[in-house]
Amino acid sequence: MTNDRTARAAERRWESFPPAPEPLPHPVLDSHTHLDIVAEDGGDPATQIDAAANVGVDRLVQVGVDVASSRWGAACAAEHPAVVATVALHPNEAPRLADLDAALAEIAVLAEDPRVRGIGETGLDFFRTKEEGLQPQERSFRAHIALAKRVGKPLVIHDRDAHADILRVLDDEGAPETVVMHCFSGDEAFAAECARRGFVLSFAGTVTFKNAPQLRAAAALTPPGQILVETDAPYLTPMPFRGRPNASYLIPLTVRALAEAKGMPLAEMCEAISDNGNRIFGPW
Domains of the chain: 28-281 (3.20.20.140)
Q: Report the C-alpha dihedral over residues 47, 245, 237, 284, rounded to 10 degrees.
A: -20
Whole-number average pLDDT of the chain: 94
Asked whether the predicted pLDDT for residue 169 surpasses 80, the reply is yes
Percent of the chain with pLDDT over 90: 89
Q: What angle do CA 282, 177, 126 make, to 5 degrees?
A: 100
Q: What is the pLDDT of residues 35-70, one digit of tens each?
A: 999 888 777 999 999 999 999 999 999 999 999 999
Q: What is the model's pLDDT at position 6?
A: 40
Supply the pTM of this predicted model.
0.93
Q: What is the pLDDT confidence band of residue 13, given thresholds at 50, 70 and 90?
A: low
d(CA 174, CA 150) in angstroms, rounded, equals 12
